[in-house]
Amino acid sequence: MKLYFATQNPHKVGEMQKILPNIELMIPPDFTCVEDGTDFMQNSVKKARSLFQVVNSPVIADDSGLCIDCLGGNPGIFSSRYGSDLRYGKFLCSNQAEKNLSIVKEVNEALSEKSMDATLWENRKCRFICALTFMTGENRFICFQETLEGCIAHAPAEDAKGGFGYDPIVFLPEYGKTVAELSEDEKNRISHRGKAAAHLIKYLSALN
C-alpha cells in the first residue's frame, strides 16, 4: 500500500516508515500548509486535506507537540515554533538544543513562581500528543489521537543518540530515562506517534 505523508520533516518520515513497514510513504515535494488550527486534530486534518486536494489519493498527516502542565499546556501546537520569536516561549532560540534548555529553564521558573517543589516529578508532568489523520476523500477521514505521558527532565539527556526534537527533555519515570534514551523499538511501541499509528494499522486491517 502507498500513502502520501503530509510532512517535510525527515525525522517524522524516518520514524513513521519504521512504524509502518508495510506501507510505502510518499513525500510530496515542497508541501506547505498554514497550521492555524486551535488544536492538534484541527491541524492534522487541515494538512491531510491540503495534500489530498493536490494528489487526489489517500494521505496521512500528523500534528504533534509537547504539552507541559505547569506552563498551561505550552508549547502545545506551537512546539515547532517555540523560541522562533517571543510570541512562542520566553526565550529566543537558534536551534533545538537551545529550545530544550529553554523549556527546562521556563519550567523551573514557573514552578518557582508558584512555590512548587521543582524536584517532584508530579510537578513536572508533560505529555507528547499526536493526532494522526488518514484521509481517502476531502470529507472522508478518520483521526487517531494518542499521548506519551512523561515529566520534564531536570536537564537534557547527555549523549543521547536516539530520538529528536524534545525527546532529550521528556523523562519517563517508569523507564528511568528520557525518550531520547529509549531504544528505537521501545520508542516506536510506546510513543504518541507509535500508538496512533497502531490504531491506523488496526483500522486498515479491518478494511481488508
9-44 per-position pLDDT tens digit: 888 899 999 999 999 999 988 888 999 999 999 999
Identity of the amino acid at 167:
D
Q: Which residues pair with 63 in a beta bridge?
A: 131
The pTM of the whole model exceeds 0.85: yes
Convert the pLDDT of each residue in 39-68 to its tens digit: 999 999 999 999 999 999 999 999 999 999
For residues 140 and 155, give the distance between their C-alpha atoms in angstroms, rounded to a whole number.
43
Note the Cα 183 to chain centre separation in Å: 17
CB 163 within 8 A of CB 187: yes
Which one is catalytic: 63, 159, 167, 185? 63
Told to judge if 63 belongs to the known catalytic residues of this protein, a careful annotator would answer yes
Identity of the amino acid at 204:
L
> For residue 44, which of 167, 129, 128, 148 has the smallest C-alpha distance?
129
SS (H, E, C) 136-199: EECCEEEEEEEEEEEEECCCCCCCCCCCCCCHHHEEECCCCEEHHHCCHHHHHHHCHHHHHHHH
Q: Which residues pair with 62 in a beta bridge?
A: 132
Q: Structural domain boundaries of the chain?
A: 2-207
Backbone angles phi, psi at 66, to 5 degrees: -110, 125
CB 105 within 8 A of CB 146: no
Band (90; pLDDT cuts 50, 70, 90): confident
Q: Say which CATH topology domain 2-207 has.
A: Maf protein (3.90.950)
Mean pLDDT to the nearest integer, 101-113? 96
pLDDT at 149: 98
C-alpha cell of 4? 502520501
Backbone angles phi, psi at 37, to 5 degrees: -75, 170
